[in-house]
Amino acid sequence: MPDGVAVTTIAAALNVAAARIERLDAEVLLAHALGVERLALLLDVGRVVDVAAFAGLVERRATGEPVAYITGRREFWSLDLIVTPAVLIPRPDSETLIDAAVAHFAETSPAQIIDLGTGSGALLLAALSQWPAAHGVGVDASAAALDVAATNAVRLGLGDRATFVCGDWAADGRNTDGGYDLVLCNPPYVADDEALPREVADWEPHSALFAGPDGLADYRRLAPIIAARLAVGGVGCVEIGATQAQAVSTLFAAAGLTVALYHDLAGRPRVLVVTK
């Protein structure tokens, strides 16, 4: 290699990085820097590599920048999604919304889906991948987020079944009520003064996180909107915070909806399942 190039083995590079950041994060970042899968990286730890680019990624992670923003990728429902700081990073807990929808429809399929606050498109695209005959609309107030979602739809071969609309919760691009078999929504639900981990508070979009003094502001708006959007026989799956089940259930029941709770793998109430 040319003079001045910093070289070491994969094993040594990971050991050095693990003194500053989590080992798993180091493995993901080095695999990204080398353009290989993480498993391939771990099967070839004696390989000699140039670690200059990797050192820069480690530094970014050490300052708190999320791994998903550094690599520009996040897996959700087995889909490889592009993510940027314009969108909330999809989390495994949010897959519980799709689990709840699958449980509701059983052997049938929703025909029309709407994802309110689509962000990266994670929920909508997961649903479209689950039900190949379905079509869906992703709504978001952020044009930058919709660019990410549309790019993901095309990359995943779902672009012909997904439409994206820039607007607030009430927008759907069709000006019709009661037409969606499945309404998905992961709204902001963090109270304004609630402390969050640095890598969330300093990096992820606050518009997708915070929802007024009690964290319920968006649910108050969403309850009547989702009631209007739902088709008879359809279902709405709405993510909630771990302590919000009773308060949010009351809001949706007041909008005339039947409410049930669906729990995540840790046993926490995660999704409000609503029907009419």
Angle at 94 between CA 225 and CA 163, to 5 degrees: 55
- Go through the domains of the chain in sequence order and give each one's CATH number: 7-63 (no CATH), 75-275 (3.40.50.150)
Q: For 141, how many CA atoms within 13 A lie in the half-sphere containing its CB?
A: 9
Q: How far, in Å, CA of 88 to CA of 49, rounded?
A: 33
Residue for token digits 């959700």?
76
160-171 mean pLDDT: 91
- The pLDDT score that the predictor gives to residue 173 is 61
242 DSSP assignment: T
The three state secondary structure string of 29-49 is: HHHHHHCCCHHHHHCCCCCEE
Q: Which amino acid is at 148?
A: V
More confidently predicted of 276 and 239? 239
Yes or no: say if 237 and 185 are a contact pair by the CB < 8 Å rule. yes
Coil, strand, or helix at residue 233? strand
103-115 mean pLDDT: 94
pLDDT digits (tens, 9 = 90+) for 21-62: 999 999 999 999 999 999 999 998 888 888 888 999 999 999
* Total residue length of the chain: 276
Q: How far, in Å, CA of 64 to CA of 76, rounded?
A: 22
For the chain, the average pLDDT equals 92
Name the token pair of 176.
């019709």
Instruction: Label the pairing between strands 135-140 and 162-166.
Output: parallel
Q: How far, in Å, CA of 87 to CA of 144, rounded?
A: 8
Strand partners, 75: 80
- The pLDDT score that the predictor gives to residue 119 is 97
Yes or no: say if 263 and 269 are a contact pair by the CB < 8 Å rule. yes
63-70 mean pLDDT: 96
Q: Is pLDDT of 129 > 50?
A: yes
pLDDT digits (tens, 9 = 90+) for 170-195: 877 654 556 899 999 999 999 999 99
Q: Is pLDDT of 7 > 70?
A: yes
- The pLDDT score that the predictor gives to residue 169 is 86
Q: How far, in Å, CA of 237 to CA of 269, rounded?
A: 12
Q: For 155, how many CA atoms within 13 A lie in the half-sphere containing its CB?
A: 16
Strand partners, 74: 81
How far is the first Cα of the chain from the last one, in angstroms, to the nearest whole number?
Answer: 67
Phi, psi of 118 (to 5 degrees): -70, -25
Name the token pair of 129.
């991948």
- The pLDDT score that the predictor gives to residue 178 is 60
